[in-house]
Copies of this chain bind each other. A is one copy, B any other.
Amino acid sequence: VSGDDSRARLVDATAGLMRRHGYTGTGLAAIVDAAATTKGSLYFHFPGGKEELAVVVVEREAAALAAAIDAVIAGAVDVDAAVAGVFALLRQELVRSDFASGCPITPVAVDVAGDDSAVAAVCRAAFARWHQQIAGTLVRLGRSDADAVDDAWFVLSLIEGALLLARSERSTAPLDAAERRLRALLPTSTSTSST
């Protein structure tokens, strides 16, 4: 159990550091320190070191955010409430972290975008997962499959860009503006309860 604890602490510590400092800015010493364990323990649980940890963390964070967004959408009475709920979730993390943390994947994805690495591949998969999630929601709202692909890139770009700008500006203004414009654009009459 103690072994499992230190594995979980390593993953949590890496997640917390990488969502703030990215892949390059997160060192093994900082991970080991934040996890209150040793380099020996890190390499015991993750023989692939920082790269292996990053892969686990990016997959976990992408799945966690997708699940949180699914729960918000499933509990919303209509599209307007669903969009408001998703933006409230995104704003919560920004404010909770004093604007140090926005999208959990972006700081890592930006660092590895040019690489042909496993970390770059899981970042791509994370964005693809959210893209599919948005496209699927839009299809349930009546969009054609082809339109939903474009619309989902549009929505995901808007959210990722707004989180990026909000973090840099240390203000929710870009996210607030994105929410207002998106709520005005989306159909509001259809229920999301089929989720």
What residues make up the interface of A, taking CB atoms closer than 8 Å to B?
Answer: 20-22, 24-25, 99-100, 102, 106-107, 109-111, 113-114, 120, 123-124, 127-128, 149-151, 153-154, 156-162, 164-165, 167-170, 173-174, 177-178, 180-181, 185
Contacts and interface: CB of A to CB of B under 8 A. Distances in A.
B22 A110 contact: yes
Contacts of A178: 153-154, 157
Copies of this chain assembled into the complex = 2
Given A24-B25, A120-B168, A164-B164, 9 more contacts: A21-B114, A22-B111, A106-B164, A107-B110, A110-B110, A124-B170, A127-B168, A153-B178, A158-B158
Given A24-B24, A157-B174, A177-B150, A114 B127 contact: no
Contacts of A128: 169
Contacts of A106: 110, 164
Contacts of A160: 160-161, 164-165
A106 to B, nearest CB: 6
A168 B150 CA distance: 17
Chain B CB within 10 Å — which of A24, A120, A157 has the most? A157
A174 B160 CA distance: 12
A11 to B, nearest CB: 21
A160 B174 CA distance: 12
